[in-house]
Amino acid sequence: MVARRGEKMQKNKSFPEDKFDSCENYITLKESSELKNYCDFALKLSISILTIDNLTTIERGKIVETIKDKDYSVFSPKQIYEKVKDLNFSQKSIIGGFKSFISTNDENTVIIVSRKTIITKTIDDLKRKLSKVRDDFEIVSVVGKNKSLLKGAARDKRVDFISLDLLNNEIPLDDALCSLMKQNEKCFEIVLSPIMNSQNDKELSAILRNGKKIMKMILANNVPFILTVNPLSPFQLRTNNQLRYIGRLIGIPFNKSRNSVFEHQLTKIVNNTIKLHEDYVFEGVREV
C-alpha cells in the first residue's frame, strides 16, 4: 500500500487475530474430563468453537449444564439459535446473528458442537451408519479410501465434510469427485495433525508431498475446503492464522484459506442446527 504525501498509511488491522473467529473442527477426547482443559486453552487462544468427536447432542447438553457454574460459560449451537431465531429469519441473517453473538459476548464463551466421523469401506455401510447417526450429531464427516465411496458420500445430503488423510499415499481424488463436491456444496476437510506430529524428516516430506498433490487438485477445481488440526492434546490447538500459516506448507496460498478456518464451519453448524431443531418443517419454513 502506498500513502500519498501528508497522508497516514492505513494499518493492517487483521493482525493480531480478530477476536473469536477461530474454530477447531475435530477434537477427539480420551476422557470427558479433558474437555475442561480444551476449553481453558481455547479461551486463551480466542478459539470460539470446539467440535467434539463422538459426542451426541444429548451428551453435549449434559456437559454444557455441568460446566455452567465455572469461570466461563459454555453454549450449544441450539441455545444460541433459540436466542437469535426470533430476530432473524433467513439462514444468512441467522449466521449473522451467530457471529454477532460470538463477537458481543465477553471472552468467557465457548461453543461446543457435536460431531461424528464415519470410517467405512462400502457405500451400503455408509448409508446404514448415516441413517443411524444423522439426528444425533450436528456435524457428520466421512473418511474413506476409495473414490466410489467418496463419490457416494459427496452425493448424500446427510454428509457435511469429507476428511482427507495426508498419510495415505494413494490420493482418492479426481476431477469428478471435486465437481460433485462443488455441486452439492460440501467441503473437504484437511487434517493437519500429521504435519505437526511427524516423527522424522522422511515422513514429513511424504506428508507434505501428499498434501501438495491434494491441494493442487482442490484449488484447480475451486472446491471449498476447511483446515483442522485434530489435536492429540490441548497444546496442539491452533488459532485461525496459525492454521493458515501451516496450510502454506502444503501449498495453500494465505489469501485463499480465509474462509477455511471459520466461515465454512460456522455455516455448516448453523444450517444443521436449524435442521435438527424441533421447529424445523423444511428448508426455509419453521413452525411458529
Partner 1 sequence: MVVLERDRYVVFQVLPEDIDLKLPELKQKIWQMYKLLFGIDKTTEAGLYFEEFDNPSKKGLIRCNSNSFSFLMTTLSMITEIDKKELIVFPIFVSGLIKKAKSHLS
Work out whether 221 is an interface residue with partner 1 (CB under 8 A). no
Closest CA to 127 of 110, 137, 140, 139: 140
Q: Which of residues 223-242 bind partner 1 (CB under 8 A)?
A: 233, 235-239, 241-242
Q: What is the spatial distance between Cα 12 and Cα 249, in angstroms, rounded to a whole number?
A: 24
Give min distance, CB of 26 to partner 1, in A.
Answer: 17
Q: Using CB under 8 A, pick the residue from 113, 181, 246, 261 that binds partner 1.
A: 246
Burial 9-42 (b: 16+ CB within 10 A, else e): eeeeeeeebeebbbbbbbbeeeeeeebbebbebb
Work out whether 15 is an interface residue with partner 1 (CB under 8 A). yes
222/255 with CB nearer partner 1: 255
119/232 with CB nearer partner 1: 232
Give min distance, CB of 34 to partner 1, in A.
Answer: 14
Work out whether 249 is an interface residue with partner 1 (CB under 8 A). yes
Closest CA to 29 of 70, 66, 60, 71: 60
- What is the DSSP pairing of strand 280-282 with strand 285-286? antiparallel
Q: Which of residues 35-64 bind partner 1 (CB under 8 A)?
A: 41, 44-45
Give min distance, CB of 27 to partner 1, in A.
Answer: 15
Length of the chain: 288
Give min distance, CB of 17 to partner 1, in A.
Answer: 9
29/249 with CB nearer partner 1: 249
- Contact 48/21 with Cβ under 8 angstroms? yes
Q: Using CB under 8 A, pick the residue from 28, 245, 263, 275 that binds partner 1.
A: 245
235/282 with CB nearer partner 1: 235
Q: What is the spatial distance between Cα 71 and Cα 198, in angstroms, rounded to a whole number?
A: 36
Q: Which of residues 98-157 bind partner 1 (CB under 8 A)?
A: none
Q: Could you tell me how many residues of this chain bind partner 1 (CB under 8 A)?
A: 24
Q: What are the grid coordinates assigned to 25, written together?
A: 473442527
Sign of the Cα pseudo-torsion (75, 268, 138, 237, in order):
negative
Q: What is the spatial distance between Cα 70 and Cα 246, in angstroms, rounded to a whole number?
A: 33
Q: What are the grid coordinates assigned to 181, written together?
A: 463436491
15/282 with CB nearer partner 1: 15
46/271 with CB nearer partner 1: 46
Q: What are the grid coordinates assigned to 101, written together?
A: 453473538
Q: Which of residues 152-211 bind partner 1 (CB under 8 A)?
A: 195-197, 201, 204
Q: What is the spatial distance between Cα 109 and Cα 278, in angstroms, rounded to a whole number?
A: 25
Interface residue list for partner 1 (CB under 8 A): 15-16, 41, 44-45, 195-197, 201, 204, 233, 235-239, 241-243, 245-246, 248-249, 254
